[in-house]
Homo-oligomer: A and B are copies of this chain.
Amino acid sequence: MSKITADTIRLLAADMVQKANSGHPGLPMGMADCATVLWTQFLKYNPQDPEWQGRDRFVMSGGHGSSLLYAVLHLAGYDISLEDLKNFRQWNSKTPGHPESHLPGVETTTGPLGQGLANAVGLALAARMSAAQWNNDNFNILGNHYTYCFCGDGDMMEGISHEASSLAGHLGLGKLICFYDSNSITIDGSTNLTFTEDVAMRFRAYHWHVQEIDGHDHEKIAKAIKMAQAELGKPSLIIAKTHIGFGSPNKQDSSAAHGAPLGEEELRLTKKALNFPENESFKIPDEVKIEFQAYQDTLTSDYESWQSVFKKWKSEAPDTYEKYIDQINKKLPKDLSKTILSTLSGKDNSTRAHSGNILQELVKQVSGLVGGSADLSASDKTTLKGKGYISRDDFSGKNIHYGIREFAMGAVMNGMALYGSGLIPYAGTFLVFSDYMRSAIRMSALMKNQVIYVFTHDSIFVGEDGPTHQPIEQIMSLRLIPGLQVIRPADEKETAEAWLAALKYQNGPTALILTRQDLPELHKNDHCSITDFDKGAHVIKDTKMPPEAVILASGSELSLCVDAAEKLAQEGCNIRVVSVPSYETFLMQEQSYRDSVSPPGSTPVVTVEAGRTLGWGNVSTKPVLHIGIDHYGASAPHQILAEKFGFTAEAVYNKVKAWLATAKAEISLK
């Protein structure tokens, strides 16, 4: 019976692609057998309650095989109708080109290869952490499920698969079960053209449990899943040798099946070969529906017993239960802001050090917070002290050693955020290495995952490490990622506000941009919130109205500007200084607020940041002077670099003064 189910899935997928005249039939047709066995014999789910915490997770890492996932979700009774399948890849459909995490039954958005696998590692890790956090002898139902993932050759080639799999093997994530769809074909042709490594040996080297099977043999698939489930100490890789485009008489085993519709004629021939009516599309034989239903009936008792234990927990341990519910709802303590601001030292320090101190207070208030670092915890100050590190033997810690694996770190955090247990993962590395994980950051934003990126060593002030380690374009380039909140605080109080803003922004990621070097404290240590911090820019040093000019500056350059403005004030030149912790947030404010900060008309404006000037022009004011750095840095002590590159109060003062003279002359000419 399963064979008909598999063929139904492969033909549904092929029909979807044909109707859309766009998409990838090869993967779904090749993996339909593995999907059938998994979804009709093993996977625990409830289409009526897609967010059921006890469900197994399923990740389609090769997101281009989305039609496979949609076909299965439809057959399994999720809220994806036959009409939705027919609307594959159309505007506003429930069946977009690549799976999107907001859709029912879709755990994560996939497409950029390798990241789905890393997301799955994050889901499996979050499961272990959830179990460690909440389960006990009497209550033992959280995080006990499996996480399944379908990967392909592309996932295996991408570097992130190495990072994530090495980490998963190290942590012994035994309930992670990945299928590698080894079909020997990629877009350019045979994998022999460029990919001849021994994947099985490679994964054994990562301490995974590895099996190799015929990916079209349902019995062998079932047996392999059972073996994989039984191995609880290691993640499992099931290498399924498959035929891409299985069933297509002329395109099977060729790259022609990968990324284009089979064509009307070939699709007919395929249906014929599979004993389906040649001229019927989107056909679902009754026995297929029956098979899915019969299997789901067997899941009912699992689901109900889980729910009854869950209810029992509520009644027997109401306090813990409430904490759990608060955590998954990411409920923040009412007085969080006040509590945090009252612990500030008021002392000069680097913003990374302030961040480290603030974190120790935050973790007392926010139970979902999970820290980590890409092997730079001492430098980026991300450790939650006394909270333990996750290890293969103990998942109760709140810190994670991600290793020197920035990209996987981002994608694993995405998985943890998606898990639904209220974890708020954050992790640190040097800002310049945000380049290594850029696509994961984008995926956080695209999926609206609350992930907090702690990027330290944020400018040429890194000093001796030189240009490879000195960010120039990174701050502005992060601001370009839609939905990413970028905050570059200028002192301790702004750092606290930045963390609070990151915690409050639950519909997307935040990047905190922090210094290596010490900065003077510029805000009053009065335990009160900074007025208008959440508007992205606020006046830090005002002058009698109207100001002769306005300086907008962020982070470590703010204090230079305050000093420069004071020097100018002594000469009778009245300059307002505005702190811009979140430039892109400021640009999104209503014009009235923007005008209140930076007066409209022809008031000269100066922007100052130790980074690229491109982008600062969107303050859309004239005349304007941008002080920044549009070339690479150099290796030397940071004080020397500040002088050489013009980032001292003196240099800012000189530049502003000289430019204002010209700018005023120009204005008066008009």
Contacts and interface: CB of A to CB of B under 8 A. Distances in A.
A472 B634 CA distance: 31
Contacts of A507: none
B632 A482 contact: yes
Interface centre among A111, A167, A406, A464 (most CB of B within 10 A): A464
Contact of A205 (B201, B403, B468): B201
B98 A465 contact: yes
- Please classify how large the interface on chain A is, using the bins under 10, 10 to 19, 20 to 34, 35 or more: 35 or more
Contacts of A436: 112, 158, 438-439
A157 B405 contact: yes
Given A468-B98, A615-B615, A617-B617, A630 B482 contact: yes
A98 B466 contact: yes
Given A480-B614, A618-B617, A197 B205 contact: yes
Nearest to A479: B614
Contacts of A96: 466-467, 634-635
Contact of A405 (B159, B205, B379, B624): B159
A636 B91 contact: yes
Contacts of A107: none
A473 B481 contact: yes
A622 interface: yes
A483 interface: yes
Interface string A468-487: 11001100110111110000
Contact of A635 (B93, B202, B479, B622): B93
A433 interface: yes
A402 interface: yes
Interface string A94-137: 00111010000000011111100000000000000000000000
Contacts of A469: 97-98, 111
A153 B404 contact: yes
Interface stretch (A188-196, A305-313, A320-328): A188-196
B206 A197 contact: yes
Contact of A163 (B157, B170, B467): B157
A464 B626 CA distance: 40
Contacts of A481: 473
Given A112-B433, A160-B159, A196-B207, A636 B89 contact: yes
A376 interface: yes
A509 to B, nearest CB: 13
A465 B67 CA distance: 12
A637 B109 CA distance: 20
A169 to B, nearest CB: 6
A378 B193 CA distance: 14
A194 B403 contact: yes
A379 B186 CA distance: 13
Given A111-B465, A442-B473, 10 more contacts: A90-B636, A98-B468, A157-B404, A158-B159, A193-B401, A195-B403, A199-B205, A472-B482, A477-B477, A482-B612
Ranked 3 nearest A-B pairs via Cβ:
A159-B159, A617-B618, A111-B468
